[in-house]
Each structure stands twice: as C-alpha cells, then as structure tokens.
C-alpha cells in the first residue's frame, strides 16, 4: 500500500502515514492507516468521525510505542 495522501478535506490522515517507519513498526501502524482510510471513505465528515480518527490515532501511537 502506498503512503496515505492527505485529502484536502481530512488533514488527519497525514498522521497515519507509515512508509517512513522501520518495517517492524510499519507492520504495527499499517492496520490503523487502513482503517483510517476506510473511515474517511465510508463515514460522512462530521464531528464524530473526527473524534473516531483522533482516538484511532491515539491507539496507533500507543501501539507503535509498545512495539519499540
């Protein structure tokens, strides 16, 4: 999967990019990026989607730190 390109209307997606990470951490981060993309594709933009993306980002960051 190519790095996630931020959509003009959803800047939070940039924080789910993982290509710059070592392969071990890419494997941890990728499922979160995939889910973030799916949320943006399937859920209309609204406050709750933003909350979901922020909480997913918190989870991704914690998982990556746990894998270090």
Q: Are 40 and 5 in contact (CB under 8 A)?
A: no
The more confident residue out of 48 and 1 is 48
Q: Which of 34, 15, 32, 27 is nearest to 67 (CA)?
A: 27
**Tens digits of residue pLDDT in 13-64:** 999 999 999 999 999 999 999 999 999 999 999 999 999 999 999 999 999 9
**Tens digits of residue pLDDT in 2-16:** 555 544 578 999 999
Name the pTM for this structure: 0.84
- What pLDDT sits at residue 6? 45
CA 59 – CA 55 distance, rounded (Å)? 6
Q: Are 2 and 33 in contact (CB under 8 A)?
A: no
């Amino acid at each position: 999967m190519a790095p996630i390109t931020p959509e003009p209307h959803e800047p939070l997606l940039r924080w789910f990019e993982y290509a710059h990470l070592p392969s071990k951490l890419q494997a941890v981060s990728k499922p979160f990026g995939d889910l973030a993309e799916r949320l943006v594709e399937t859920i209309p933009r609204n406050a709750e989607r933003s909350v979901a993306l922020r909480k997913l980002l918190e989870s991704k960051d914690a998982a990556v730190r746990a894998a270090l």
